[in-house]
Structure 1
């Protein structure tokens, strides 16, 4: 075995070990400020120490390891991803990037670099417990909102109380944020969570940016009535109106090169022999361009309102969520591309991320660069999530070279 091959095998083994830190032995669920969070980060701290890194836990429970440089005046290179999971998760979303960063620094243990390199396991990216995503990276990037401390989980425990019980001081949350002048760059390796690399038969790809997203809850109201006695031509069928809207949404997304998804739909009153009088549905719209996202949302909402008016239905909407589109730094994209081409002997694939990542928050304080790793059928957020050890070896090669490239 070469060093890189043994390193990739170790990454795979450690992903298996981290997956055992779960609220249930039947499935992987690891949420913020839980015993599983503590146990997983204790394990990461042990591996960090073995790799020769200085280790610490920050104000919100992120776990850090530092490869110390003899030159402390240079900004620090940050490597990271998240260690928490969704409910009934796979092993690699987030966790792979943390372990790869740790392994790359272990391989560079005896290599002197003119800057510190920190690897961080962000404690909460998914928002599984409190429905407040990106807590870990928001704290590091200076975006932590004190109001989040009042948010409660399903058991009525506030985040502040959970922090206190975990051994953290809620009043200090986010007070140890990093500043841009102290950061060389932020690098994140992540599974693709999509099918593009697999379709192109490539082990890794360079991320161009993270799509912005807006989410809405829509309500269409008509008139309920007897399914047998009201003629079709005289109906105000809320579901038929919504169905036309769904077709319009799909056609619009295709023609404007965005993605739009209706993920939830409730039909009321929901009886087999009653014309639907009301439909509530959700809409998730994403684009790599923030300008395009804003324009498309405005145009699409107007089209949906017009459909409702034509059908004598009422239409209303409220925004549930929004995230800004974040481009990856051009120079870091080219730097990633160089190491990818070196280790794959293939033309690098550049691709956007439709999913959110900690990098999108870290962009507030650093230039960001991301590398995607091929995953089986693009499946993620599911126990079937899978990567190949050979792809992990390529990603480790690329990551290790990327970390050293800033010395040039």
Structure 2
């Protein structure tokens, strides 16, 4: 818990934790994470996309390794446990084993992924996609809101993007991927359980919607003659929310909205907003997409507005490997921890790592199911239970099933 408090200090000023990918806060955090890795007996290395990778001697020698880890970045004003828990906990588990004179029964790597949240740049899962070999090098030219390219940001971080091809892993040298994460939901707390074993990760898609009207003088243009992009976009937001409540097996959010020209006495001419949809069932997500976008187009037509949409991110849901589910359940039983299987409604690096290897995931109870918020909280007892389960998993892990 002290380590997680310490990591949370590497943040922009303000509530919670704001540590964006390839930012100055990210750069300043790396020496701390490197010190944790060395305490765990791992050799740290910053790769071409800003992942900090710690390898044990057996992994450095080329043995197939179990990869554990999670992400370093946060949302804006997020919590201190989302992502960082899955970096700190396996490192502490390895350090504890080392202090007891024990070694894991397989080669181990711990990866602190640079990007999972997708807040700063218009893409996400950059670090895990690079490991899986599915990252399009063109993303290095993508820009943040200040016009800084990812390539430039990574250079400031100290990453050598010319070595991008070296990040991709050989599937034959990876045993599997395991991530520890707060649940980000209320199921475990409602059932009085500290830990849960994940069965699958949700599918996610993100759209950018542009609504165009006509700017004009707010004092001289009659109400009936206006083509107000913001009024139209507001109707779209309400309609999308109404449909999401009705459709079922689908959740979504409009989380960003920008207005132009943004003057107090000018009718808005253009609005851009994001639309994110999530569902474990691809057919329901796609059907929901069609219905929502059609409804938004109807609103634009009724109000004399133009609307364009673009799909800028899509990841299908993936299943966790049964052998890793059972391995995590066995480790929980050995540590006297009752557990249950549950689905993840959030996306994680496992969505990308699934293209490389089998994935498994352990959830930790969080207070009120709250996440992406400064009040995100876990208990020390639950953190200890999770650490001991990971220690037991490493004791049990002798190779692929």
> For the superposition of Structure 1 and Structure 2, which TM-score range results when normalised by the shorter chain?
0.7 to 0.9
Q: Which one is further off, 248-257 or 177-186?
A: 248-257
Among 131, 148, 152, the alignment partner of 1:161 is 152
Q: Partner residue of 1:22?
A: 11
Q: Distance in 2 between matches of 1:320 and 1:276?
A: 24
Is residue 319 from structure 1 mapped to residue 310 from structure 2 by the alignment? yes
Q: Distance in 1 between matches of 2:153 and 2:110?
A: 25
Gap regions ≥5 residues in structure 1? 1-11
Among 181, 186, 198, the alignment partner of 1:207 is 198
* Larger gyration radius, structure 1 or structure 2: 1
Pairwise CA distance, 1:118? 0.6
Q: Distance in 1 between matches of 2:22 and 2:247?
A: 44
Q: Distance in 2 between matches of 1:337 and 1:385?
A: 26
Q: Partner residue of 2:382?
A: 391
Q: Partner residue of 2:287?
A: 295
Q: Partner residue of 1:382?
A: 373
Q: How many residues align structurally?
A: 393
1:77–1:317: structure 2 CA closer, same or farther, 3 Å change rule? same
RMSD: 3.8
Equivalent position SS for 1:175: helix
Q: Distance in 2 between matches of 1:209 and 1:396?
A: 22
1:74–1:290: structure 2 CA closer, same or farther, 3 Å change rule? farther
TM-score (normalizing by structure 2): 0.82
Pairwise CA distance, 1:378? 2.4
Equivalent position SS for 2:20: coil
Say if 1:250 and 1:260, in contact at 8 Å, map to a contact too. Answer: no
Q: Distance in 1 between matches of 2:103 and 2:233?
A: 65
Q: Distance in 2 between matches of 1:321 and 1:159?
A: 16
Pairwise CA distance, 1:399? 1.8
Q: Partner residue of 1:108?
A: 97
Is residue 328 from structure 1 mapped to residue 295 from structure 2 by the alignment? no
Say if 1:90 and 1:382, in contact at 8 Å, map to a contact too. Answer: yes
Is residue 407 from structure 1 mapped to residue 398 from structure 2 by the alignment? yes
Q: Distance in 1 between matches of 2:270 and 2:148?
A: 35
Say if 2:16 and 2:80, in contact at 8 Å, map to a contact too. Answer: no
Pairwise CA distance, 1:361? 1.3
Pairwise CA distance, 1:177? 1.4
Pairwise CA distance, 1:81? 0.6
Pairwise CA distance, 1:289? 2.3
Q: Partner residue of 1:90?
A: 79
Equivalent position SS for 2:167: coil
Residues 282-332 of structure 1: per-residue CA shift (max 9 Å, x gap): 4321111223322321233335545666x5766634124322223232412
Q: Distance in 2 between matches of 1:200 and 1:123?
A: 33
Equivalent position SS for 2:73: coil
Q: Distance in 2 between matches of 1:324 and 1:240?
A: 29
Pairwise CA distance, 1:219? 5.6
Say if 1:84 and 1:123, in contact at 8 Å, map to a contact too. Answer: yes
Among 24, 31, 52, the alignment partner of 1:63 is 52
Say if 2:105 and 2:394, in contact at 8 Å, map to a contact too. Answer: no
Q: Which one is further off, 266-275 or 207-216?
A: 266-275
Equivalent position SS for 1:162: helix
Gap regions ≥5 residues in structure 2? none
Q: Partner residue of 1:187?
A: 178
